[in-house]
Structure formats: structure tokens, C-alpha cells
A and B are shown apart, each in its own frame.
Chain A
Amino acid sequence: MIELIDVSKTYANGTEAVKKVNLLIGDGEFVFLVGTSGAGKSSIIKLMMKEESPSLGLIKVNGVNVNTIPHHDIPRFRRGIGVVFQDFRLLPDKTVFENVAYALEITERPAKQIRREVPKILSLVGLSRKYKSYPKELSGGEQQRVAIARALVNQPAILIADEPTGNLDPSTSFEIMDLLNDVNIMGTTVIVSTHEQNLVNKMKKRVIEIENGIIIRDEVRGQYSNEN
């Protein structure tokens, strides 16, 4: 569960990115964060991941008060959240297998377990046969699948995807969204930030719209915008 209580974030340059946001995302939910660029979606995601600290307010993720996590415990906290980015962020010198394995290596899992877990997750995202390929040898959609596999391999309770389809063509975007939906059905809470109207409208999931750092709409089975 993710809880934001009266959360504000003002950056050093004075930009007020998030203003008194209150938000509750329950376990197993699928949520779209929508809004224009600069609306505050990415700031909220960064706050959830403790990449930024709130200027005011309280954030709780999986029952943990994120505000008070000591610096040395941040890595452990992040392992409980899988993250996927628009630019995939794969390690270019590692193969598909190694990229996914990396998330397990940092948690010091035994090699045997890594050899067992990675193929399982690669088959889930449909990339079993490409485990030896390097990121540059893959299409955008395939790279994003690797990123999703890496985010899921530690079996996080929450998966956050920040504009996951921003660099993909429409049909691939739908495939990725289907994959995220499958992940959600298996029990993972999924939060997707996007400004792709078609995807949001097709999925019919909870939609939270943000504008100028404020939540202006929160609908259980929403559309991308009210105008639709």
C-alpha cells in the first residue's frame, strides 16, 4: 500500500512540483498517473522511490515511513519496488540474462538461484530465446520487456512504470501494457505514469490526473481525460 498525506515538494530552484497531495493506492491496484509534461507525475514517482524527499507531508510505502528511512537502508527499500523507465535503462555491456541477473546479484543471491530465477522471469516476458543478446541488438519493445523482467525478478510488491511506452510504437505499447496487466493480475500493485490517451482509455483502470502538482481527478475506472 502507498499512502501520501499532505505531501508537497519544492525544489531548490523554487519550483513547486507537488502541492499538498493526498493519495492512497491499495495492494494489488492498477493505477494510471496522467497529466501533461511537468504536471508533477515524475516528482510523485521519485518521492515514492525515495529518490527525492518531500518538503512537507508523510509518505508510507508498504507500511514503511519513507521520510525516516536512513540513507543506508534506501537500497533495501528500493528492492521492494520494481521500476521501469521510458528509456529502459539497461546496462549496455551486459546481456539480457546478465541485466536481469544483476537485480538478483545486488541482493547477494546464490548463483544457483540466479540461474533458476532469471529464465523463469524471461519466459514470463516472452524473451526466453534472447537471453544471450545485448540491449542494442533488441527492439524497443524487447528492451522494455527486459526492463520489466529486471524490475520483477526480485518479486516486488509494487511496480512503478514511468512513461514505459514513451519510446514505443502503438502496437508494441499495447503489448507492454498487456504484460503490465498480467503482472498486476498476479498480485503486484502497478503504477503507470503516462500521457498516452489510447492506452489509458483501453485499459479502463483507476486514473489519477495531476495538474500543476495537484490531483485534480481520481476515478476508479477512468478515461485519460474528462473530455472523452
Chain B
Amino acid sequence: MKIRTVRHLMKEGIVNVIRQRMMSLATIFIVIASFVVLGIFLILLLNVNELSTLVSKEPEMIVYCKYKLDDGEIFNVEKALKNNYPEIASITKISREEALEKIKNDVYAGKADAIVGLTPDIMPVSFVIKLKDPTQGLKIIPNVEKIPGVESVGSPLGIVNMIVGAQSWIRIITIILILLLMGISILIISNAIKLTVHSRKKEVGIMKNIGATDAYIKLPFIIEGMIMGMVGSVLAFMLISLMYNAFPSNFGLMNEGLFGQFRLVKFDNIIKIPLFGIAEMQFVLGAIVCTGFVLLGIIMGAAGSAISIKKYLKLRGN
């Protein structure tokens, strides 16, 4: 087919969308609905990913010494950790001064008045521990707690394992849902186009009678599907980003501890994508999601149309 003809048929497709505007609107709304559900799951997946990256940066274990230990006793605790636990990869000591500093910066940031007069004495010495295999962490905690001079052992490993576990499940569910929704959307678009084709069956018959090829008849319908898929997905993206931005980025319930640091992934986040290890390209996350959405919409619209018009042309035989 010549470029001139393709251009002409694209114009026909656009005209058809406008001419059959009620049908087009109905299809577009259906595309929006499917894509909004799709988007919600994508956002969930993005955030779970973000959360798991965040928790994986946390120390795997923190061993808190008793408050009143002297330097010798603290040394003994460190020695016991180093000598008896080959599972440990590294130990970093946090002195009383460093602990107070951290509290000032993390918990009481901007509220210096509340901790005026506090001295390092009230803080315990602690050891931040990285493990060779984090999955073994939960096994050694009870033994570490029994070392003389150890007050308690803090570890987010339970939560980390839970999130990592949930992440893989959410990923699987999301992929299944995305495929399912894509299938449903293709089916819906294909049905909507089938109605359009059916309402123009006389026209299609005339085209065949005067010698139009299948490709010539099909192309405007495919363009129609692409336009509806594109418009629907763009509107769905706008709707999702509006709803998402209106959502509080930091849940009140999760202000404490580990989750206190977590914020919802923002669409205007800059993300870096390595290009074959040579350079890193910077993209705005929202642009990537939007492009993906629109491409998916266009592909699904085209696929939906192609299926129904192909079936229709087949039904009409020669």
C-alpha cells in the first residue's frame, strides 16, 4: 500500500471516530475503566518496590547494650559478637554520642527545644550488624540476646521478609491482572468495533464489491481502534495521576519507625535508566508510565479492531 493511501485511510479512520461519536465515547469510557484498574495495580507495585528498596537499606540487626556498661564490658560484647557468630559480615559500633546525635537529627529534627539538657549518658551503646545471609538473621537473634551485657536486639528482618514475600506475590498478581485486563480490554474494544463494523456492513459489502482489498477495508477500522485506545489511555492516566496526587503521600499511621521514612512514589520522580552500562539516561517516571499506557492503549485498540474486522471479513467469505 502506498504512503499516500495510508495517509488517506488514516484520515478516514479519524472521520469515522467523529462520525460514530456515541459508539466511540462508549468505547473510550470502557478503555478508561480498564486502564484505571490497571493503573492502580501498577502504582501498588511501584510502591511496594520502593518500600522494599527502602527496607533493604536498613541495618539487618542492631544490638543494644545495657545502659550502665563500662568500656570493658562493651568490648566484651563486641568480642563475643565477632568471635562466636560467623554469620556476621560486619559490625559497626555506635557510641553514646553518635546515638544522641542520631536521635536529635531523626526524631527531634526541628524540635531542638524538647531535648535541651540531654547528655549522651542516657543513650545505650549499640552495634549495627550486617549479615552475610540476611535470611539467617532471625535464627541467631535469640542467642545474641543471651550475651552478657546485651539489653535487646532490634531487627526489621521480620518485616523485611514479609514485604519481600508480599512483593513477589503482588508482582505475580499484578502481572496476571494486567494480562487479564488487557485481554478484557481487547475483547471490549473488539466488540465495540464489531458493532461499528456491523452498522457499516453494507458499506463493507460495497467496498468488497467494487474491489477494495481486505487491507484497504481494515485499515480505517484499525486506526479507529488505535485512536480510541489512545484517547482512553491518556484520559485514564490523567485520572490516575489526579487521584494519586490527591492521596496523602505519608500515611499518619505509619509515621513511626521504619515506615516513617516511606513516601509514595511520585510521578515527577526522576529515575535513571542505565544504557548498556555506557551512560545513564534520566527520565521522569510519570513520562515513562504515560508513554507505556498510551502505547498499550494504541496496541490494544489496534488488536481489538483487527480481530473483529478480520472475523467480519472472514464471515462474509469472498
Interface residues in chain A, defined as those with a beta carbon under 8 Å from any beta carbon in chain B: 49-53, 71-72, 74-79, 83, 85, 89-91, 93, 102-103, 105-108, 110-111, 150-151, 154
Contact (A103, B318) CB under 8 Å given A93-B19, A108-B2, A108-B5: no
Task: Tell me, in angstroms, the Cα distance from A211 to B125 when the chains sit together.
Answer: 110
Contact of A83 among B4, B19, B210, B213 (CB under 8 A): B210
Contact of A108 among B1, B208, B209 (CB under 8 A): B1
Check A75–B211 contact: CB distance below 8 A: yes
**Chain B residue contacts of A93, Cβ below 8 A:** 19
**Chain B residue contacts of A91, Cβ below 8 A:** 203, 206
Report the tally of A-B residue pairs with Cβ distances under 8 A. 59
Check A106–B318 contact: CB distance below 8 A: no
Check B207–A106 contact: CB distance below 8 A: yes
In chain A, what residue has the closest Cβ to B16?
Answer: A93
Check B4–A108 contact: CB distance below 8 A: yes
Check B19–A106 contact: CB distance below 8 A: no
Contact of B213 among A51, A85, A106 (CB under 8 A): A106
- Within the complex, what minimum Cβ distance (angstroms) separates B254 from chain A? 58
Contact (A53, B318) CB under 8 Å given A93-B19, A106-B207: yes
Task: Tell me, in angstroms, the Cα distance from A154 to B2 when the chains sit together.
Answer: 19
Contact of B210 among A74, A77, A106 (CB under 8 A): A106
Question: Does residue B244 face the partner (Cβ distance < 8 Å to A)?
Answer: no
Contact of A106 among B202, B203, B205, B211 (CB under 8 A): B211
- Within the complex, what minimum Cβ distance (angstroms) separates B92 from chain A? 73
Count of B interface residues, CB-CB < 8 Å: 21
Check B211–A52 contact: CB distance below 8 A: no
Task: Tell me, in angstroms, the Cα distance from A100 to B312 when the chains sit together.
Answer: 25
Contact of A79 among B1, B8, B211 (CB under 8 A): B211
Task: Tell me, in angstroms, the Cα distance from A93 to B20 when the chains sit together.
Answer: 12
Contact (A89, B206) CB under 8 Å given A108-B4, A108-B5: yes
Task: Tell me, in angstroms, the Cα distance from A215 to B240 when the chains sit together.
Answer: 70
18 further A-B contacts with Cβ under 8 Å, apart from A93-B19, A102-B207, A108-B1, are A49-B209, A50-B318, A71-B318, A72-B214, A74-B318, A75-B214, A76-B211, A78-B208, A89-B205, A89-B206, A103-B210, A106-B210, A106-B211, A106-B212, A107-B211, A108-B2, A151-B210, A154-B211
Check B1–A78 contact: CB distance below 8 A: no
In chain A, what residue has the closest Cβ to B213?
Answer: A75
In chain B, what residue has the closest Cβ to A74?
Answer: B318
Task: Tell me, in angstroms, the Cα distance from A152 to B152 when the chains sit together.
Answer: 96
**Chain B residue contacts of A77, Cβ below 8 A:** 211
**Chain B residue contacts of A72, Cβ below 8 A:** 213-214
Task: Tell me, in angstroms, the Cα distance from A76 to B214 when the chains sit together.
Answer: 11
Contact (A78, B210) CB under 8 Å given A50-B318, A93-B19, A106-B216: yes
Enumerate 8 A-B pairs (CB-CB under 8 Å) in ascending A order. A51-B318, A52-B317, A75-B208, A78-B208, A79-B210, A83-B209, A89-B206, A106-B210
Contact (A78, B205) CB under 8 Å given A106-B216, A108-B2: no
Check B209–A89 contact: CB distance below 8 A: yes
**Chain A residue contacts of B213, Cβ below 8 A:** 72, 75, 106
0 or 1 for each of B1-38: is its CB under 8 Å from A? (1 = yes): 11011001000000000010000000000000000000
**Chain B residue contacts of A110, Cβ below 8 A:** 4
Check A105–B210 contact: CB distance below 8 A: no
Task: Tell me, in angstroms, the Cα distance from A74 to B210 when the chains sit together.
Answer: 10
**Chain A residue contacts of B206, Cβ below 8 A:** 89-91
Task: Tell me, in angstroms, the Cα distance from A52 to B207 when the chains sit together.
Answer: 16
**Chain B residue contacts of A151, Cβ below 8 A:** 210
Task: Tell me, in angstroms, the Cα distance from A75 to B216 when the chains sit together.
Answer: 10
In chain B, what residue has the closest Cβ to A106?
Answer: B212
In chain A, what residue has the closest Cβ to B12?
Answer: A105
Task: Tell me, in angstroms, the Cα distance from A91 to B202 when the chains sit together.
Answer: 9
Task: Tell me, in angstroms, the Cα distance from A4 to B206 when the chains sit together.
Answer: 25
Check A75–B209 contact: CB distance below 8 A: no
Task: Tell me, in angstroms, the Cα distance from A68 to B119 when the chains sit together.
Answer: 99
Check A78–B211 contact: CB distance below 8 A: yes
Task: Tell me, in angstroms, the Cα distance from A151 to B206 when the chains sit together.
Answer: 11
Task: Tell me, in angstroms, the Cα distance from A1 to B298 when the chains sit together.
Answer: 48
**What are the 5 tightest A-B residue pairs by CB atom distance, in nearest-first order?**
A79-B211, A78-B211, A106-B212, A75-B213, A75-B211
Question: Which residues 190-236 of B have a CB within 8 angstroms of A?
Answer: 202-203, 205-214, 216
